[in-house]
């Protein structure tokens, strides 16, 4: 292996220790920020992610608010929980764990959330603010990717970045963040309709792989020295996480984010950042 590691675990730990100080300062003013999660159903992976988020809360001193509904919950029942968290002053920010069970209108649920409490940065109002260059909570995974690159000194300014995927949580917002003046990257978005993915990949200084296709990114398609971020989460038959990036890429790339231990912990850290920032904004407005 020749690539250097984009260490998400260590970077997330550093962010969390910085947040711990900011949370303590809020508590001095009598404010304890709280992160809420809404989990519907009993998908083991979702349960594990949500449990991780509450462990993070305990670490940085945030209060945890957990709402759990059975897989049989109706649209109305989920919406009632969303309305309740919108009103709850103890809840600074919250997420509705996705995906929701079949038959539930996910977008309607997300639209019902108070945009000021949107810890995921995925509310339509906040995605719109991102397009308009207005301050807003940022989507956690794309923001985690950028923070991870910056923490390791990978040059984004002027870089050719290929984003693989067009999902709502990563693929679609990622280019919006990368093309801000503060990042200044040139972005090509590839997806299942791309005619020659390899031709685009070979040109990339940075690859963000968020396709959800195991080992889609092959060593022969990566420019030597490129930074490759594996954001894919598929699971094989044994439940083991399979990334989008073939292990052989580590021999060619200059930087690689492991999976697990790369972008996943960064997503969680950015979620905490959104909650602490929301609490600081609310405190400043008092
Ligand atoms: N409303 C909503 N917001 C989300 O942010 C959201 C979601 N729904 N639904 C599912 C995806 C997935 N996701 C992960 C976050 C952290 C890890 C993570 O920390 N993973 C560890 C390993 C964990 C393990 O071993 O399973 C790692 O990469 O090192 C993984 C996956 C957030 N998501």
Residue nearest to atom 20 of ligand 1 (CA): 264
| Distance in angstroms between the alpha carbons of the first and the last residue of the chain | 53
Residue 192 lies inside a defined structural domain of this protein: yes
Cβ atoms of 60 and 19 within 8 Å: the answer is: yes
ipTM: 0.95
Q: Which of 36, 243, 267, 274 to mutate to test the pocket of ligand 1 (most atoms within 8 A of CB)?
A: 267
* DSSP assignment string, 109-176: HHHHS-GGGBTTS-SHHHHHHHHTT---PPPHHHHHHHHHHHHTT---TT-EEEEE---TTTTTHHHH
Q: Are residue 152 and residue 100 in the same domain, yes or no?
A: no
Residue 245 lies inside a defined structural domain of this protein: yes
Pairing of the two strands 255-257 and 160-164: unpaired
pLDDT in tens, the chain (286 residues): 799 999 999 999 999 999 999 999 999 999 999 999 999 999 998 999 999 999 999 999 999 999 999 999 999 999 999 999 999 999 999 999 999 999 999 999 999 999 999 999 999 999 999 999 999 999 999 999 999 999 999 999 999 999 999 999 999 999 999 999 999 999 999 999 999 999 999 999 999 999 999 999 999 999 999 999 999 988 888 888 889 999 999 999 999 999 889 999 999 999 999 999 999 998 988 7
Q: Are residue 41 and residue 82 in the same domain, yes or no?
A: yes
Residue 11 lies inside a defined structural domain of this protein: no
Q: What is the pLDDT of residue 104?
A: 97
Residue 128 lies inside a defined structural domain of this protein: no
Q: Are residue 91 and residue 159 in the same domain, yes or no?
A: no
Q: Are residue 145 and residue 68 in the same domain, yes or no?
A: no
Q: Structural domain tally of the chain? A: 2
Catalytic residue among 7, 118, 120, 230: 120
Residue 12 lies inside a defined structural domain of this protein: no
SS3 208: strand
* Domain containing residue 255: CATH number: 3.40.50.720
* Domain containing residue 37: CATH number: 3.40.50.10860
Q: Are residue 144 and residue 177 in the same domain, yes or no?
A: yes
Q: Are residue 155 and residue 254 in the same domain, yes or no?
A: yes
Counting from 1 in the atom list of ligand 1, the atom nearest the Cα of 95 is 1
* Domain housing 256: 140-264
């Amino acid at each position: 292996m020749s690539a250097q590691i984009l260490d998400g675990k260590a970077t997330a730990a550093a962010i969390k220790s910085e947040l711990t100080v900011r949370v303590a300062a809020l508590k001095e003013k009598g404010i304890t920020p709280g992160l809420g999660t809404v989990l519907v159903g009993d998908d083991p992976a979702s349960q594990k992610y949500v449990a991780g988020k509450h462990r993070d809360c305990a670490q940085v001193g945030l209060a945890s608010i957990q709402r759990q509904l059975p897989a049989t919950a109706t649209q109305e029942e989920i919406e009632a929980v969303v309305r309740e968290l919108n009103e709850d002053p103890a809840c600074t920010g919250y997420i509705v764990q996705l995906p929701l069970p079949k038959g539930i209108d996910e977008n309607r649920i997300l639209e019902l959330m108070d945009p000021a409490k949107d810890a995921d940065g995925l509310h339509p109002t906040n995605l719109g603010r991102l397009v308009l260059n207005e301050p807003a909570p940022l989507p956690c995974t794309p923001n985690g990717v950028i923070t991870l690159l910056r923490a390791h000194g990978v040059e984004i300014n002027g870089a050719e970045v290929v984003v693989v995927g067009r999902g709502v949580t990563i693929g679609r917002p990622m280019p919006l963040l990368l093309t801000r003046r503060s990042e200044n990257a040139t972005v090509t978005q590839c997806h299942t309709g791309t005619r020659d993915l390899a031709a685009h990949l070979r040109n990339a200084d940075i690859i963000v792989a968020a396709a959800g296709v195991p080992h889609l990114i092959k060593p022969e398609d990566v420019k030597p020295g490129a930074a490759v971020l594996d954001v894919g989460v598929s699971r094989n038959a044994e439940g083991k996480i399979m990334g989008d990036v073939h292990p052989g890429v580590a021999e060619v790339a200059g930087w690689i984010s492991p999976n697990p231990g790369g972008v996943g912990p960064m997503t969680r850290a950015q979620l905490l950042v959104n909650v602490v920032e929301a609490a600081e904004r609310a405190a400043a407005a008092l």
